[in-house]
Amino acid sequence: MGLVAAALILPGLLPSSSTDQVAYDHFLNRVAAAEVTDVLVDNQTGGITFVDDAGTTFETTGPLELSIDDRRLLADSGAAVRFETPQPGFLQNWLPLLLPVSLIILFFWWINRRAQGQMSGMMSIGRSRAKTYTTERPGTTFDDVAGYAGVKQEIREVVDFLKEVEKFAEIGARVPKGVLLVGPPGTGKTLIARAVAGEAGVPFLSVTGSDFMEMFVGVGASRVRDLFESARKMGRAIIFIDEVDSVGRKRGAGLGGGHDEREQTLNQMLSEMDGFEGSEGIVMMAATNRPDILDPALLRPGRFDRQVVVPLPELDDRRQILDVHVKGKRIHEDVDLDVVARGTPGMSGADLSNLVNEAALIAVRNGDDAIGADHFEDARDRALMGQKRESMAMSDEEKEMTAYHEAGHALCAALLPTADPLHKVTIIPSGMALGVTMQLPAEDRHTYRRDYLEDRLTILLGGRMAEDLVFGVTSTGAGNDLVQATETTRKMVREWGMSERVGPMAWGSQSQVFLGDDLMHSRDYSDETAHLIDQEVQRILTKQEARCREVLTDHRHALDLVARSLLEHETISGEEVNRLVAAATDTTGATGSATTPNGAPEPMEPTVSDPSVADQN
């Protein structure tokens, strides 16, 4: 195609002849006047080149076949007349033949390459798909992983072993063959593994559990063999398998038996992990958020010797994680990241990253040039409650009932002694809720006392009881409150031993059916015990409902004040609720331990809340 284009285009681009062009009649006149001495006629194009008696060369174009009169005129003129037929070159002769032949050859070559590519793909289907990272591609390091000092220390031991084998060999220490990273989603398990690639200084082979699964039988086991063989060839290396639970589930479990291909892949992995010695310098790492479904043979010593828990970040960890995510962002001076960190209990690193990004998006939408504290507040509300539905039209009756519903929650939260500090109350529809009462814990909680849980049940029932106390009826707005209250009470009775009649016995939640552990029987206690559990759940809920009614009845004036404030402002802070409760208490003179304003620390200005303490209408 290039040759054809050159043959067609280049002649037109070449410079034309500088010879003077004249008309054919002018040529004949000069011949008749005997002023032409030499004539050259091209039989193919009809072009005529002639030289006059002064030695000047001219060109003209005549007919392809000269007439008899023109020939006689040239013969009588005495000029030297020559007729020439140019011979075609090699390209002009063979191009019409070479072009189709070349196209046919190229077509068969392309077909052959396609067939070879398919065959090579079939032959390489059993090869490992692991990505190899070397010292030339450091990527993420431990400096990029904020917090988790204990986790990084355990992982750093593996890195140090691969860098300094002699230091461990001198004392006779044996480094674990496998390290399993366990933790909730979003806590940075994969990020920590990527940091190992930057710190180890040895090849790092990264693969996901799903890469071993294929439609062909035996492919998973073949890829496991190829993966470990590639690691052995590298000498010291780290093998990282992300989401290992996809291939490491318990064998022989589930409805209809296990997945034979997956089990063969797991068998091959177990064999390979026992097939190399610690002196070979190969360490295997894996990450999962479901360690309970892993096969016991995978977790025994000699395979995954050490389990490193990557929990949800604590206060100091959240502060360091926020420092990482605000880099490169324009933060207003009114933002206190310590306050933001204190107000984000239960948030993972991924949640904090999303929080900062959402605050930046809100700042851009509002036309601000920096991210302020109010943007973090709005981002927290959106992450916790969902997008505000300010355009949703509510009737006056619905709005008033919602205001009293949320006022009931807020009043109980402000009065009960062990309740978490009240942060904000709103009747603006957000997400699936018509209103939200938000509490933020003063500090991270790891255990929950019985009195705290009972106060929480009272708060959950506060909205429903406020509707019944003021309007004499209840609505469907308390549906989510009742679900949370019932689940919490059932755990108190069945799992946490907080019932005198049931006693210090615990029955865990039901196992997953696909594991096959609890398929034939649904519970491990008798029908009489189940009936007793139901009675205790009902008794506890009824008792807390009566307690809630007593609190709201004793502080009816405060309930009305909070509800009217919500109807007027739609959103009020926890400090405002406490002020209204204190004003109503001073007016009515109500006293008592259950009716004293909450003595917990003043609500801080955090940006997100633990979903477990956010009550949605």
Residues marked active site are found at 406
Q: What is the residue type of 540?
A: I
Q: Are 474 and 521 within 8 A, CB to CB?
A: no
| Residue for token pair 């959103």 | 571
In this structure, the dihedral spanned by the alpha carbons of residues 128, 130, 134 and 136, taken in order and rounded to 10 degrees, is 110
* Rounded CA separation 111/617 (Å): 66
How would you list the strands of the sheet with 131-133, edge to edge?
131-133, 204-208, 237-242, 282-288, 178-182, 306-309
User: Where does residue 435 rank: exposed (0-12), middle (13-18), buried (19+ CB within 10 A)?
Assistant: buried
Q: Between β-strands 237-242 and 282-288, what pairing exists: parallel, antiparallel or unpaired?
A: parallel
Which string of DSSP letters, residue by residue, matches 539-550? HHHHHHHHHHHH
CA distance readout (Å), 109 to 2, 112, 122: 19, 5, 20
Identify the bridge partners of residue 615 per DSSP, sorted by sequence position: 437
* Rounded CA separation 437/459 (Å): 10
Q: Are 545 and 461 within 8 A, CB to CB?
A: yes
Q: Apex CA 316: angle with CA 313 and CA 320, to 5°?
A: 85
* Rounded CA separation 464/459 (Å): 10
- The SS3 of residue 133 is strand
Q: How many CA atoms lie within 13 A of 428 on its CB side?
A: 19
Q: What is the residue type of 486?
A: T
> What are the backbone dihedrals phi and psi of residue 77, each rounded to the nearest 5 degrees, phi first?
-75, -20
Nearest C-alpha neighbor of 178 from the set 302, 309, 310: 302
Q: Are 237 and 281 within 8 A, CB to CB?
A: yes
Q: How many CA atoms lie within 13 A of 57 on its CB side?
A: 6
* Rounded CA separation 129/207 (Å): 7
CA distance readout (Å), 494 to 137, 530, 534: 53, 9, 10
| Residue for token pair 């003209």 | 60
* Rounded CA separation 457/453 (Å): 6
Q: Find all residues with CB under 8 Å of 258, minimum gap 6, and list them.
A: 249, 251, 252
How would you list the strands of the sheet with 422-426, edge to edge?
571-573, 422-426, 436-439, 614-616
Nearest C-alpha neighbor of 182 from the set 195, 193, 194: 193
Nearest C-alpha neighbor of 165 from the set 258, 284, 283: 283
Angle between helix 527-554 and helix 479-494 axes, rounded to 10 deg: 130
